[in-house]
Amino acid sequence: MRLNKYIAAAGICSRRKADELTLAGKVKINGVVMDQPGYDVKEGDRVTVDGRLIGGPATGGKTAERKVYYVLNKPKGYITAVSDDKDRPVVTELLTDVEERVFPIGRLDCNTSGLLLMTNDGDFAYHLSHPKNEVWKTYRARVSGIVTKEREAKLRKGVDIGGYVTAPAKVTVLKQNANSAVVEIAIREGKNRQVRKMFNAVGCKVLDLERIAVGTLRLGRLLTGHYRRLTRQEIDALLAL
């Protein structure tokens, strides 16, 4: 089995993150650093990530924790990570009664709230975060200024966010006030701070940002800071995207 798949299957992280860890020299096979994500893990190989044994003979070959799937309504002020070297609050702290080592799928800025999927299933995470699957992510943004028809059309068609032109988006102005607006925007990409940069590109500033849906899954009435398990139907619907 390919090394990145093996690591993801052990519930450590996504395949992409496994590649990063491997290239960074954090992965060892039988005590020797292995920096090739494409390495084919053999029966009996002893694989460690950051010094931690995952599978291999010493653990009886068991790599798999029970797979779990959660949706969290992330509050502002939390970093989307499993740990932080500056000791800031991280999203995994909010899943207080979850014993499995879950990690977030994709990323929300510290100052963004809303729907965040958490799992220990690397394949599930890979499916949802791989750009080729183009999963729609929907946000509700409160922005400064007037979202004119012209600005709306630009956002919809694609804007330059600094050397990258965004793919077509879905945009609905829900409310226009004197100096601000509430806009629903759905994108299929996930560039760093993309929604904020898109509004900046048309002369508006994001004042508040909440993710309200990922693919078919909506945040619904889940309270801020709360989480729940996904149902089997919800998991299957996300896998079908």
Give the three-class secondary structure for 16. helix
Which tokens belong to 182?
Answer: 């509430």
Element (H, E) at 18: helix 15-23
Q: Catalytic annotation on 97?
A: no
Minimum separation from the CB atom of position 160 to ligand URA (A): 15
Question: Does residue number 189 form part of the binding site for ligand URA (CB under 6 A)?
Answer: no
CB closer to ligand URA out of 15 and 196: 196
Q: Give the nearer residue to ligand URA in terms of CB position, either 59 or 224.
A: 224
- Give the residue with the Cβ less far from ligand URA, 92 or 112: 112
Shortest Å, Cβ 80 to ligand URA: 8
Q: Find the farthest-apart pair of alpha carbons in the chain and give their distance in angstroms, rounded.
A: 67
| Closest separation in Å from C-beta 195 to ligand URA | 3
Q: Site for ligand URA (CB under 6 A): which residue of 46, 193, 203, 216?
A: 193
Among the listed residues 196, 210, 235, 238, the single contact to ligand URA using CB under 6 A: 196
**Shortest Cβ distance from residue 204 to ligand URA (Å)?**
12
The one catalytic residue in 109, 123, 208, 236 is 109
Q: Would residue 114 be called left, alpha or beta, if left means φ above 0 and alpha means ψ between -120 and 50 degrees? A: left
Q: Which of 3, 79, 108, 183 binds ligand URA (CB under 6 A)?
A: 108
Nearest Cα to Cα of residue 225 among 124, 101, 89, 128: 89
When binding is defined by CB under 6 A, the residue of 65, 109, 184, 208 that contacts ligand URA is 109
Among positions 9, 116, 194, 219, the unique one binding ligand URA when judged by CB under 6 A: 194
* Structure-token match 């979202």, residue found: 147
How many other C-beta atoms are found inside a 10 Å radius of the C-beta of residue 21? Answer: 20
CB 74 within 8 A of CB 226: no
Query: Cα 203 from chain centroid?
Result: 27
Q: Are 116 and 81 in contact (CB under 8 A)?
A: no
Cβ(128)–Cβ(241) below 8 Å: yes
Cα dihedral across residues 113, 226, 239, 138: positive or negative: negative
Residue 208 CB, nearest approach to ligand URA (Å): 11
Shorter beta-carbon distance to ligand URA: residue 28 or 193? 193
Q: Is the dihedral of CA 233, 186, 175, 227 positive or negative?
A: positive
Residues 202-241: x/- map of binding to ligand URA (CB under 6 A)?
A: -------x--------------------------------
Contacts with ligand URA by CB under 6 A lie at 108-109, 112, 193-196, 209
* Catalytic (active-site) positions: 109
